[in-house]
Every structure is written in structure tokens, then in C-alpha cells.
Amino acid sequence: MTNYNRISSIDIMRGLTLVLMLFVNDLNMDVAPVWIGHRAAEFDGMGLADWVFPGFLFIVGMAIPFAFAKRLSSGQSNYDMSRHILTRSLSLIIIGVLMLNSGRVNPELTGLSKNLWAILMYVAVFLYWNDYPDKENKFFTITGLKVIALCVFGFLILKFRSGDPQNNGSLITSWWGILGLIGWAYLVSAFTYVLCRDSIFKTSLVAVFFLIMNMLSSWKLLGFLDPFKSILGVIIGGNNPLIVLTGLIAGLIIRKIPAKEFKKIILVFTGLGLLYLGSGFFLRRWFIISKIQATPSWGMICSGISMLVFILLYWIADMKGKIRWAEFLRPAGENSLTTYIAPDIIYYLIWSSGIPILIYKQSHEPLIVIAGSIIWAFLMVGFTALLARLKIRLKL
């Protein structure tokens, strides 16, 4: 049955969401069918792409109780775990902000092209956050590489100019970027686990609190918190923490129910999935389903979809033991941050070369555009696997 030290379906779903993320991010949505991409902010509904990010957030939450249970069993204190949470969250936020600003570079004012600035930034990210092997015997070498990375970061930040008069052209946090959103949501959810441990009831209360925050924020009733929104906006908005917390609840359920009672697990997950979906459509009376607006209806529907997708994968992989079909997802599932970031380096190198390598993007045929992006996603997973073999693997 299930080995609770490693739930295969968690890795499979993580890999699946990342492959889908690579696919939808690469699509030329001027040609691809609208139901695949993101829907407009004011549109009441969602496409496939609108589930991918919350699907990943959900699985981030699911992994928390397993990761921290391992830390607890190794004797780590609350201080040790808190330091890990803060370090990991801050790292995600920093990388997210750097990625967000890479598209804002003004070449004339910065003295560097957008492509070169981004490539140097990503190289520095890999130098600093790489999971170096044999750390003890290569301490000085690794420290030297991290110092070089910090110098590159400092150089890029000092040189950065966007030409935007509103902020003197400097770096902005804005919406924090995808990784920044994950960092803030992880911060809340990981500390929730540290405080509530394996209590599903207490964790559910925290999730309800953030659902209420999301509703009040969407109703624009939290104006008194505006002075804090520039920094704590993701937390005040409530939506991303809510989605990660629903995943955390799912992880706690998997840990609490014995593997031999797999039918109960399936019933609980199916029931909760339908409850979340029903709640989302009920909330649609007051809030449209919108990813861009991060509405509570969208968040609950996405969590419901994630519950149902996960339990299907759990039944196939962990109950039936059929995991060979998902082997192509393994590199992405085990190296999620590398999978997300590494393709950007390839993009910027292609754009720098000026060679029209991604010719499928120029097609007016939807099938060619879709097929090209599918191939791109699989190639990038293979690229991640190659980097892992070369001991290049990001770990926060």
C-alpha cells in the first residue's frame, strides 16, 4: 500500500502541474483555444491555465506535514523549523521579485540588454541556491560561488533602471511574481503547521479565517489595512494562503487515516472535493470566478478540482501501484524549482541569438501551436533531468 514517507501521487501531481505550467506559459494564446489559457480579469469563468497555479499551491500545502514530520523526527526544534520557513519563504520572494523585474529592464538606462540582465540573474540564482553535493569537503569552493552570486545580484540591482518615473526606475515588488506568491502563502501555511501540528480542526479554522479574509478583501472592506498591503498584500488578500491551507488539510488527512482504510480516504477526499466545488459555485452569487482577481469562488473551485485530481492519482499510483506511466513526470516532481526556472534561461538565450527556433509560435494553426508547446514542455522536463544528472538542482 502507501509508504507515508513518500506518497507517489504527491510527486506525480506536482510534476503534472509543472508540466502544464510550462505548456500554458509557452502557448501563443492569439492562436490557441481560449479555454486552454487564462481568462480575462472581468470574465466570470476559468480556463485550464487558471487551475494550474492553484493546483501547484495545493500540492505545496499537501507536502508540508510530511516534510515537517521528518524534521520533527530528526529532533529539530520550533526555532530550527521557523528559521527554515523564513529562509525558504524569503528566498522564494527574492527570486520572484527578480523574475518580475527582468521584463522591466530599460536597456539604454541600465546599460545591459533585457536578455543579458535576465541571463546573469538566473545564473546567479543557480550559483547561490544550487544544491551542491559534498558540501563539507567543498566548503570554500561553494562559499566562493555564493559570494560571486551575491556580487552579481548587487551589480544587477545597482545597474537596474526601468525608466519608470513613478519609482525612479528601481526594482518593484508589485504582485511579487509567481514564486513570491508561493513564498508568502508557504510562510503562512508552514507556520500554521508549526503552531497547529497535526490538528485538522485547528488548521481548518485557519483556512476559514483566510477564506473570510479573501471575501472581505474582494468586497473591499479591508481598507484600514491599506498601509500594510504593499508588503503583506498576499496575506491580507487571503486567497493564496487559503489554497495552500486546503492542501495542508489534505496532507493531514492522508497522514491520519491508515493506508488500509483507503476506501475511507477516497470517500473523504471526494466528499471534500465536492464540498469545495459546491462552496465555490455558491460564492459565485457574490464573486465572479476570476484568477486575476483572486476571488474566493475561484479559489474554492480550484481546491475542489485539486482534491478530486489528487484522489484519482492517489488511487492509481498509491493504491493500485501503477506509477510507470508517470515516469516522465518524475524529474519535474522531484525538482520543481529547477523545472520552473531553468526554461527561462533557454528562452533568453534563444531571444539573444535572434534565431527563430520556436517557429511553431508563428503558426496560425491551433494544433501546431499546441503540439509545439507540448513538445517544449517535455523537452524542458528532459532539460531538468539533465541538469540534475550534472548536479545542478535548486533547493531552498
pLDDT digits 0-9 by tens, 353-371: 999 899 999 999 999 999 9
pLDDT at 137 over 80: yes
- Beta carbons within 10 angstroms of residue 36's beta carbon: 18
Q: 366 near 33, Cβ under 8 Å?
A: yes
What pLDDT shows up at residue 4? 43
Q: 383 near 346, Cβ under 8 Å?
A: yes
- What pLDDT digit, counting tens, does each position of 288-337 carry? 999 999 999 999 999 999 999 999 999 999 999 999 999 999 999 999 99
What pLDDT shows up at residue 166? 76
Which 3 state secondary structure label does DSSP give 305? helix
**CA–CA dist 203, 199 (Å, integer):** 6
Q: 103 near 194, Cβ under 8 Å?
A: no
pLDDT at 351 over 70: yes
What pLDDT shows up at residue 259? 78
**CA–CA dist 14, 326 (Å, integer):** 11
pLDDT at 11 over 60: yes
Q: Which of 97, 127, 119 is nearest to 344 (CA)?
A: 119
> Burial level of 334, CB count in 10 A (0-12/13-18/19+)?
middle
Q: 246 near 276, Cβ under 8 Å?
A: yes
pLDDT at 147 over 70: yes
- What pLDDT digit, counting tens, does each position of 163-204 carry? 888 778 889 999 999 999 999 999 999 999 999 999 999 999
pLDDT at 3 over 50: no
**CA–CA dist 16, 18 (Å, integer):** 5
Contacts of 334 (CB under 8 A, 6+ apart): 11, 15, 388
Sequential DSSP letters for 113-165? -HHHHHHHHHHHHHHHHB--SSTTTTHHHHHHHHHHHHHHHHHHHHH-----G
- What pLDDT digit, counting tens, does each position of 13-70 carry? 999 999 999 999 999 999 999 999 999 999 999 999 999 999 999 999 999 999 999 9
What pLDDT shows up at residue 173? 93
Which 3 state secondary structure label does DSSP give 67? helix
Label residue 5 by pLDDT band (50, 70, 90). Answer: low
Of 139-143, 259-263, 327-331, which gets the smallest average pLDDT? 259-263
Contacts of 279 (CB under 8 A, 6+ apart): 300, 304
pLDDT at 1 over 60: no
Percentages of the chain per state (helix, strand, coil), in multiples of 5: 75, 0, 25
Which 3 state secondary structure label does DSSP give 2? coil
* pLDDT, averaged across the chain: 94
- What pLDDT digit, counting tens, does each position of 66-122 carry? 999 999 999 999 999 999 999 999 999 999 999 999 999 999 999 999 999 999 999
Mean pLDDT of 228-252: 97
